[in-house]
Structure 1
Amino acid sequence: MKYAILTLPLLLLGSCEPAPEGEPVTRTRIDGQAGAPSPLPSPSETATGTTHVESACRSIIFEDTPLTHCLATPARHRLSMDLGPSGESPYRSLTAYSGDHEANAIAFAMNAGMFDDEGKPIGYFVEDGERLQSLNTADGEGNFHTKPNGVFFGSGDTWEVRSTEDFLANVRERPEFGTQSGPMLVIDGELHPQISRDGESRFVRNAVGVDEKGRAHFVISNAAISFGKLARFYRDELSVRNALYLDGNVSALWNPATDRLDTGAPIGPIVVVERKENDDD
């Protein structure tokens, strides 16, 4: 694959907290080197005890950076947001969340959205159709306020990523789930204008995008990555027209099929991808 080298203003984003733990299971090159397999590998099958469970996630390498790509499809999965037990404080970790839920029902879970010191979302947040936080259109500093930021939301089998402005102007009905974060990585097929191709700000990061088939692509890096490289992965390899940055350094994944449970700094909102009952996994 041929990439043009661009020089754009550097976007210095990210925090300085320790990166989460968690090792990739398998790696597939998709950067055009000899012997490279398909850029969109299918989920892997991993043995857990005596039962074979298909993993929705596959580890890959994009331009020498290891990533884990998890695919949620409407036919096989349900999406929801979770902050904490009803009426209680946020979970603050996937370890706490996993201890409160049956692993065999979960395809994977990941942190999803920015939060305050108590772990509560600082932007739009809807859980089970209940809006717990209103849309945040304020200006400010940091990743969240790097406009345009955006919203990942959905109801039933329809999932979307829209910029905050687009969401405010065009979404009239409250979705079943929603989380606001920022910045957008890809907007209508174009990279965020303030993101350079491969800037010096590099941390473990995660993001989400929805393709034209309605599938949600969740990506978490297994090593430090720039905003530009993560954005280009969504645009060039996943062909996603709209992708949203979820967070960095606190980024964590729980993938029961491979026994991956990341630990690290406290998190806030969690996106949960459940297997549907008619799934034959």
Structure 2
Amino acid sequence: MIRLGLKLALALGFGAVAAPAWATQCTEQDYKGNTYVVCEVAPATEDIRLFLYDDKGEPYGQFDAVDQSLGEGKRLAFGMNAGMYHEDRAPVGHYVENGEEVMRVVPNAGPGNFGMLPNGVFCIRDGRADVVETLKYQKTLEGQCRFATQSGPMLVIDGELHPRFLPDSTWRYLRNGVGTSSDGQRVVFVISRNAVTFHEFGSFFRDALGLPQALYFDGNISRLHAPSIGRSDGGRRMGPVVGVVAPAE
């Protein structure tokens, strides 16, 4: 594992400067022939939010638009596309922003990756965040999340890989997603550096990161904003974006 997110002090024996409590740390990790960028967030100390529409009702679409909307004294310290969307950037599944439901829960099977049940919801509450399978979410957390985004498929469900993932699959894409610990205190966002299968991607969350729950965000437009490692991906306009808001440097 190569630590990329820490700022180094002067090379003459001062070592690494401790990162502030709000500073999302990103690392690059190799696992079984694939490479991933891993960004870990602590919801107890970091301001995690979802972003979709600006104050004029238009989709942000890009990381820089989200960053500019935050105002003086704040910046987007981390960002990632966070769920599938229609051509008009409206979310395919459940979406909640600042406690307001924009799109209802979609519990039924359907076409594409989103409808490959079980799918799930990434739920952000005060001091914690959780990936929860959709039907469980409806029974236990619906209406309690300050922010929520539904996507699919689930990658890891209670420590088990999604039942439809095949070890010998040849279906490879760049992929991104999020995993959480059982106590909701560890939130890990991952984007692959190379094309990977669902089985490989889910296995990384479960076996390399030790996370019991993980959710797929997307594959065709996987994008990362991580200034700490000098990366901010451009490209097609996005729908929902998950981000960490931090004090401006």
Quick one: distance in 2 between partners of 1:141 and 1:70? 30
- In the alignment, the residues of structure 2 paired with residue 258 and residue 237 of structure 1 have an alpha-carbon distance, to the nearest angstrom, of 21
1:93 counterpart letter in structure 2: Q
CA distance in structure 2 between the aligned counterparts of 1:59 and 1:172, rounded to whole angstroms: 34
| Maintained 8 Å contact 2:97/2:146 | yes
TM-score, L = length of structure 2: 0.86
Residues 137 and 212 of structure 1, relative CA distance in 2, 3 Å threshold? closer
* Paired position in structure 1 for 2:46: 77
Give the deviation of 1:223 after TM superposition. 1.4
SS of the residue corresponding to residue 135 of structure 2 reads helix
1:272, distance to aligned residue in structure 2 (A): 1.0
Name the TM-score, length of structure 1 as normaliser: 0.77
Matched residue type, 1:114: M
Residue 236 of structure 1 corresponds to 207
1:160-216: per-residue Cα shift (whole Å, max 9, x none)? Answer: 111101111222533100000000000010000001125211111100011135210
Q: String of CA shifts for 1:104-149, please: whole Å, max 9, x gaps.
A: 6332011000100111101110111111111012331100000000
Q: Aligned partners of 2:233 and 2:167: how far apart in 1? A: 28
Quick check: 1:68 aligned with 2:34?
no
Structure 1 partner of 2:219: 248
Q: Letter of the 2:6 partner, please give it.
A: S
Match of 1:202, SS state, is coil
User: Identity across aligned pairs (percent)?
Assistant: 35
Kindly tell me: are residues 92 and 105 of structure 1, through their superposed partners in 2, closer, same or farther at Cα, counting changes over 3 Å?
closer
Do structure 1's residue 174 and structure 2's residue 144 form an aligned pair?
A: yes
Structure 1 residue ranges, 4+ long, deviating more than 3 angstroms after superposition: 52-55, 98-105
Matched pairs, number? 236
**In the alignment, is residue 134 of structure 1 matched against residue 104 of structure 2?**
yes
Matched, 1:58 2:20: no
Give the Cα separation in 2 of the matches to 1:74 and 1:211: 11
What is the Cα deviation at residue 95 of structure 1?
Answer: 3.6
Which residue does the alignment assign to 1:165? Answer: 135
The equivalent residue for 2:77 is 107
Retained in 1: the 8 A contact 2:31–2:208?
A: no
Contact 1:112–1:271 (CA under 8 A) maintained in structure 2: yes
Cα–Cα, structure 1 residues 190 and 167, in superposed 2: closer, same or farther, change >3 Å? same
Equivalent residue number for residue 65 of structure 2 = 96
After superposition, the Cα gap between the structure-2 partners of 1:46 and 1:166, relative to the gap in structure 1 and judged at 3 Å, is farther
Gaps of 5+ in 1: 1-26, 29-40
1:273 paired to 2:235:
no
Partner residue in 2 for 1:23: none
For the 8 Å contact 1:94–1:252, the answer to whether it is kept is no
Distance in 2 (CA, whole Å) between partners of 1:170 and 1:76 is 24
